[in-house]
Structure 1
């Protein structure tokens, strides 16, 4: 949420603001509820305190044509999710052009199945075709497209099922572990990112694995840069969440 990570998220939005204008924002968010499909779309528009945000239905049609999957089977999970909406408040507040702000809202389901089965995300049904369709859709139409992964990193402590609350020392260790993970994200190494989490059985509970992995695969030829890393420690729930802002340049 904004209280936990707003000041960290702002670094990424500053990078967007300082970049050449974009025509479309593809937002990859985390689906925190169980889904039948790995990717969940919606054709609905979004409303923010600063005005309406339009969903690009033409782009969605291109995704649908590229994959024989019902991306709307789990559409109702969009109603209770928040990862896409968190970024829309920033994007809409900073949008100063007369034309509507347009997005492609995509919720990414869990990749835990790959960790449990000892395979890579690309081996899961539907993942590789979707990434290929996403690349293809972004590459046509002449639009300048910006991809965002709205995704947290670690979730540790009593609130998230760990037996012990985080200590100052454990949070320092966690920061080092997160930075090794983020080094993969900077190098566009999606497979390395996944392998680190798979090797530790995702004990850090990185709920943003799927959207981050997809982003790295789609932007495989980009250059990544870590802008800001942060931790939010809540002594009341004896838990902590970690997050970061990175920018990617073509």
Structure 2
């Protein structure tokens, strides 16, 4: 049975991704900063008949928590087939370039960038043991420098100095990670789930968690012919999927 770790998976897109991958036959390690919330999420999925799901306490901003999660999962399996770096925060709105405090940048980057780095580095040994390892970093089209420089883009006026900057940094990390793993079976991609109604945006999004999770799941399941080192946003380019960085 294939295994996957999903960070920030006790609610929203992460939770739905856990559900869909469990339906695909994966054993899901459901990462949750608060273990009780993770256990409640697991209980809900198991009540639906999805039994191959277990909660893992994982605060991506805390090195001790990441290492403890690595040790716990390492006692259960020698192989991790996929990692979905989903945990993220927005830092609140508005986020003007002149008004956002440095502390807001530090807090958001701690989760959205440094957290991804910590988790990826901690679990890379288990991922290397998989025959076709997959890493999906949850990106955002709102962090596309190209699109945000185009006045005709539909979200051109939806600017933010903090959250989009963190996701742009995550995208660069994705490019470098995919490059370093280019001669291996890894597939590493940044995938935009779309503007989805979740707690992250106070449910202002227009998309559903089901559609958003399906976009992530697609690149967990992608075969050896699939892309790596790409920025995927099917909401913006449904035909090819790829958008500019």
Which band: TM-score by shorter chain?
A: 0.3 to 0.5
Q: Relative contact order: is structure 1 or structure 2 higher (C-alpha 8 Å, sep ≥ 6)?
A: 1
* TM-score, normalised by the number of residues in structure 1: 0.34
- TM-score, length basis structure 2: 0.35
Q: Which has the higher strand share?
A: 1
